[in-house]
Amino acid sequence: MSRCRVLVTRYVYPAALELLRRHTEVDYRDSRDGLARDALTEALRSCAAVVCQLTDRIDADLLDAAPELRLIANVAVGYDNIDVGAATARGIVVTNTPGVLTESTADLAFALLLAVGRRVGEAERWLRAGNWRQWEIDLLCGREVHGATLGILGMGRIGQAVARRARGFAMEVLYHSRRQLPESTERELGARFVTRAELFAAADFVSLHLPLDATTRGSIGAAELRQMKSTACLINTARGGLVDDGALLAALREGTLAGAGLDVFPAEPEVDPGYLELENVVLLPHIGSASVATRTRMCLLAAESVVAWVRGEVVPRQVGVEG
């Protein structure tokens, strides 16, 4: 019996590839650059499943050219790179990799929060430039993180993991989310549900943990930034498209916002050059989940979804499906 053909669009950790190879015929594109649009279209034509990454844009036109395709396993928890509606309408299942990257991403959100608050990037650049002459009482003083108020927008797995870290810093944690958490979880996290407006107005640090979709795109714009304190900092480890870059840059330049820590950008790998001129931003190249252990688990999870589907089992981690 012929084996199901699976396209793996880019380099993945070997454990995932080994698993896929045990169960399927793998068309592996062992490159970090991925496939150009035409090559991806061509490669998908004869595949029943694809293991793709957030750098692969899978839209309706591409799906129309992939008559055999039945499963898209995205190696990421976010799936804004895929037109899930178009896939579902064509009977194609889409899966993601939730859970395994929660702690790593929360670690990085906290690293950014600390780095922005305590001016870590700026201080390191300053030292490397040979500027350090002596200890001074007011040298590179930043904002206190312990005891500050943290506003978490989007209280899913990662938001909750950030809240847990905040407890260790004796922060007051406010959150806003589509759904309020059960009281017992709020108590465990020490987090208080507030309106968006209350969150923006009260927080010293606002950390974004929302998915990017039509309802959240550009949802942090001039109006929201204006509601924040001029001493506050914005942290984004979710998706760049949530934030209006122009508005954020203006707020940072004009001093109506104290700082920002950004791991994600609207048109990666492009970074608005305006950010590069500012000392009060910390910029990272989308490394929220970037530890070898986490990235390996993400690749494995995507491979496991494919294997479940090949075996005719219920496919875990389907997106666009309630429950």
Contact residues toward ligand DGY (CB under 6 A) are 54, 76-78, 101, 288-289
Considering beta carbons, is residue 134 or 215 the nearer one to ligand DGY?
215
298: left (phi over 0), alpha (psi -120 to 50) or beta: alpha
Answer whether 55's CB lies under 8 Å from 34's CB.
Answer: yes
C-alpha span between 24 and 240 (Å, rounded): 35
- Point out the catalytic residue in the list 10, 29, 286, 295: 286
Considering beta carbons, is residue 219 or 294 the nearer one to ligand DGY?
294
Residues comprising the chain, all counted: 323
5 catalytic, yes or no? no
Considering beta carbons, is residue 40 or 54 the nearer one to ligand DGY?
54
- Cβ neighbours around 190 below 10 Å, total: 14
Considering beta carbons, is residue 7 or 76 the nearer one to ligand DGY?
76
CB of 190 to ligand DGY, least distance (A): 26
- Point out the catalytic residue in the list 10, 176, 239, 297: 239
CB of 33 to ligand DGY, least distance (A): 18
**The token pair that represents 271 in the structure block:** 């970074």
H/E stretch holding 126 reads helix 120-128
Strand order in the sheet with 205-208: 191-193, 172-176, 149-153, 205-208, 233-236, 259-262, 281-283
CB of 166 to ligand DGY, least distance (A): 21
128 catalytic, yes or no? no
CB of 111 to ligand DGY, least distance (A): 15
CB of 73 to ligand DGY, least distance (A): 13
C-alpha span between 314 and 118 (Å, rounded): 48
CB of 80 to ligand DGY, least distance (A): 8
Q: Which amino acid is at 204?
A: D
C-alpha span between 303 and 301 (Å, rounded): 5
C-alpha span between 268 and 96 (Å, rounded): 20
286 catalytic, yes or no? yes
Considering beta carbons, is residue 149 or 296 the nearer one to ligand DGY?
296
Residue of 56, 46, 40 lying closest to 24 (CA atoms)? 46
Considering beta carbons, is residue 147 or 285 the nearer one to ligand DGY?
285
Q: Which amino acid is at 272?
A: D
- Cβ neighbours around 185 below 10 Å, total: 13
Active site residues: 239, 268, 286
